[in-house]
């Protein structure tokens, strides 16, 4: 955790790539109380992106992050089920 306030959270995620970070950013931006969300890879040779979220209306950023992660996990599970079903049909 790089920064934590009542409405901001900045965390470094070791080993994550653009695929995960982009998905998480998308899910964060879908949340109602998110003012700003994004990620940055400070150096191209270091795969430790920094994820940032700023919230509104007194909602804790860690709560929003957990919600976004759950939605991403659910989406992944649904994709896995659909893929397995499609592969069985072929």
CATH of the domain at 40: 3.30.1360.10
Question: What is the C-alpha separation between 28 and 86, in angstroms, rounded?
Answer: 29
Per the structure, the count of domains in the chain is 1
Cα 49 to Cα 15: distance, rounded to the nearest angstrom: 8
Instruction: State the pLDDT at residue 89.
Output: 84
Q: What is the arrangement of strands in the sheet containing 34-40, beginning at the earlier edge strand? A: 3-4, 8-12, 50-55, 34-40
User: What is the span of the domain harbouring residue 71?
Assistant: 3-89
What would the pLDDT profile of 8-18 be if each residue is shown by its tens digit? 999 999 988 88
pLDDT band at 75 (very low <50, low <70, confident <90, very high): very high
């Amino acid at each position: 955790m790089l920064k934590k306030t009542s409405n901001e959270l900045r965390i470094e995620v070791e080993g994550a790539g653009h695929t995960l970070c982009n998905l998480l950013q998308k899910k964060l931006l879908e949340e109602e109380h998110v003012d700003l969300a994004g990620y940055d890879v400070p150096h191209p040779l270091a795969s430790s992106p920094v994820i940032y979220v700023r919230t509104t209306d007194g909602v804790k950023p860690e709560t929003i992050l957990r919600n976004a992660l759950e939605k991403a996990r659910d989406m992944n599970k649904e994709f896995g089920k659909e893929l397995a079903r499609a592969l069985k049909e072929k």
